[in-house]
A and B are shown apart, each in its own frame.
Chain A
Amino acid sequence: MSREQLVVERARRAFQTGMSKPLKFRVHQLKNLHRFIIERRKDIADAVKKDLNKTEHSTELFETLGLEGEIDVAVERLAEWAAPRPVEKSLLTILDEVYIQPEPLGVVLIIGAWNYPWAVTLQPLVAAIAAGNAAVVKPSEVSSHSAKVMEELLPLYLDKELYPVVCGGVSETQELLRQRFDHIFYTGNSTVGKLVMEAAARHLTPVTLELGGKSPCYIDKDVDLRVACRRITWGKFVNCGQTCIAPDYILCEPSIQNRVVEEIRKCITEFYTDDPKTFEDYGRIINQRHFQRVMSLLEGSTVAIGGDSDQSQCYIAPTVLKDVTGGSKVMQEEIFGPLLPIVTVSGVDEAIQFINEREKPLALYVFSPDNKLIRRVIAETSSGALVANDCLVHFTVSALPFGGVGNSGMGRYHSQHGFDQLSHLRACLIKKLNLEDANAMRYPPHTAKKLGWARFFFLKRVNLRQLRRMALLALFSAMASFVVQRFLR
Chain B
Amino acid sequence: MEMQVVQRARETFLTGKSRPLEFRVQQLKSLQRMITDRQGEIATALKQDINRSQYDTPLLELIGLENEISLAVSKLAQWAAPRPVEKSLLTIRDQVYIQPEPLGVVLIIGAWNYPWALTLQPLVGAIAAGNAAVVKPSELSEYSASLLKALLPRYLDQELYPVVCGGVSETQELLRQRFDHIFYTGNSTVGKLVMEAAARHLTPVTLELGGKSPCYIDKDVDLRVACRRITWGKFVNCGQTCIAPDYILCEPSIQNRVVEGIRQTLLEFYGPDPKSSPDYGRIINQRHFNRVMALLDGYTAALGGQSDSSQRYIAPTVVKDVPPHARLMQEEIFGPLLPIVTVSDIDDAIHFISEREKPLAIYVFSSNKKVIKRMLAETTSGGVTVNDVMMHYTLNSLPFGGVGQSGTGRYHGKHTFDQFSHHRACLVKSLGMEGVNMPRYPPQNHQKARRVRLAMRTPLVDFSKGTYIWAVTASIVALGLLVALTVILILAAGVSCTCW
Contacts and interface: CB of A to CB of B under 8 A. Distances in A.
A55 B278 CA distance: 78
B440 interface: yes
Interface stretch (A253-261, A328-336, A396-404): A396-404
Contacts of B207: 204
A446 B53 contact: yes
B445 interface: yes
Given A211-B202, A412-B423, A389 B430 contact: yes
B98 interface: yes
B201 to A, nearest CB: 8
B440 A61 contact: yes
B376 interface: yes
B425 A98 contact: no
A126 B101 CA distance: 28
Nearest to B354: A16
Interface stretch (A30-38, A147-155, A226-234, A339-347): A226-234
Nearest to A389: B429
B98 A400 contact: yes
Given A389-B430, A390-B427, A459-B70, A400 B96 contact: yes
A394 interface: yes
A202 B193 CA distance: 8
B391 A101 contact: no
Contacts of B324: none
A68 B226 CA distance: 51
Main secondary structure of the interface of A (DSSP, over half): mixed
A193 interface: yes
Contacts of A88: 397
A459 B63 contact: yes
Interface string A414-442: 00000000001111111111001001001
A325 B495 CA distance: 87
A426 B460 contact: no
Contacts of B98: 400-401
Contact of A281 (B91, B424, B442, B484): B442
Contact of A425 (B88, B200, B410): B410
Given A272-B442, A445-B279, A206 B408 contact: yes
Contacts of A390: 427, 429, 437
Contact of B422 (A87, A382, A387, A428): A382
A61 B55 CA distance: 64
A87 to B, nearest CB: 4
Interface residues of B, number: 113
Contacts of B383: 426-429
A384 B70 contact: no
A55 B444 contact: yes
A204 B63 contact: no
A186 to B, nearest CB: 11
Contacts of B392: 427-429
Among B58, B59, B90, B378, the one with the most A-chain Cβ atoms within 10 Å of its Cβ is: B59
B327 interface: no
Interface in A195-217: 197-198, 200-202, 204, 206, 209, 211
B491 interface: yes
Given A209-B202, A397-B88, A412-B423, A429 B400 contact: no
Given A272-B442, A427-B400, A194 B64 contact: no
A428 B362 CA distance: 10
A483 B444 contact: no
Contacts of B101: 382
B399 interface: yes
Interface string B396-412: 01111001110111100
Contact of B445 (A57, A65, A273, A279): A57
Given A90-B395, A399-B86, A389 B195 contact: no
B128 to A, nearest CB: 16
* Residue from B385, B404, B431 with most neighbouring chain A CB atoms (10 Å): B431
Given A182-B404, A197-B202, A386 B425 contact: yes
Which of A201, A202, A230, A461 is packed against the most chain B CB atoms within 10 Å?
A: A201
A304 interface: no
Interface string B360-391: 00000101000010001010111111111001
B242 interface: no
A369 B372 CA distance: 58
Contact of B85 (A60, A194, A385, A399): A399
A483 B484 contact: yes
A450 interface: yes
B320 interface: no
Nearest to A201: B195
A80 B27 CA distance: 39
B12 interface: no
B428 interface: yes
Q: Which of B104, B191, B204, B280 has the most CB of A within 10 A?
A: B204
B425 A227 contact: no
22 contacts: A73-B460, A90-B394, A92-B391, A197-B199, A201-B195, A204-B188, A204-B209, A231-B437, A279-B442, A356-B14, A369-B431, A388-B429, A428-B384, A428-B398, A433-B222, A433-B226, A444-B279, A445-B279, A451-B58, A454-B58, A458-B394, A461-B71
8 pairs of A and B residues whose beta carbons are closest in the complex: A446-B55, A57-B444, A197-B199, A201-B195, A444-B279, A427-B383, A399-B85, A427-B398
Given A87-B395, A428-B376, 20 more contacts: A72-B457, A92-B391, A100-B398, A100-B399, A101-B376, A103-B380, A194-B199, A204-B188, A204-B195, A272-B442, A369-B431, A374-B428, A390-B429, A397-B85, A399-B86, A400-B427, A429-B395, A430-B372, A458-B64, A459-B63
